[in-house]
Amino acid sequence: MVTCISRNPEETWALGREWAACAKPGWVIALSGDLGSGKTQLVKGLAAGLGVVERVHSPTFALMHEYHGAEIVVHHLDLYRLETREAILDAGLEEYLLFPAGVSVIEWAEKWFDDSPESQRNPKLLRRVWIEETGLSERLIRYEDSGS
């Protein structure tokens, strides 16, 4: 597991942009963290690094936004309002969680990627990310990759 400290939103954004360099279709980034922890800021940096020029914002009420980068489509999902795995399936989001044509970034991903036996189906390339507030603008960001 990799651990880093972000001291401000700009550093969180820069980390997302850094991740864009290794992004490829099929990659799923599963974000977990409290409200205001910096999940969307990380997505903004990733999208910018992939050539997205439009405004990136949280899809809390839309469930998903799609952004077209220079070569890769970014699917930005937010599972906050979906209470159960069944609700996520009913919303038609499974393909973005397991088999995205582009890169999927999921906020509140613990609602899908938990430790239950039925959640063991994972995408081919998965980065699990945990963001924890450690100060007013400081964040502890831990992540690990699985898959090929």
What proportion of the chain, given as a percentage, has pLDDT over 70? 95
For the domain made up of 2-140, the CATH class stated in words is: alpha beta
Nearest to residue 42, comparing CAs of 10, 2, 5, 67? 10
CA separation, residue 102 to residues 3, 70, 95, 119, 139 (Å)? 26, 12, 11, 21, 27
Q: What is the pLDDT of residues 90-122, one digit of tens each?
A: 999 999 999 999 999 999 999 998 766 555 567
Q: Whole-prediction pTM value?
A: 0.92
- CB atoms near residue 70 (< 10 Å): 10
Sketch the domain layout of the chain as residue ranges. Answer: 2-140
pLDDT tens readout for residues 3-25? 999 999 999 999 999 999 999 99
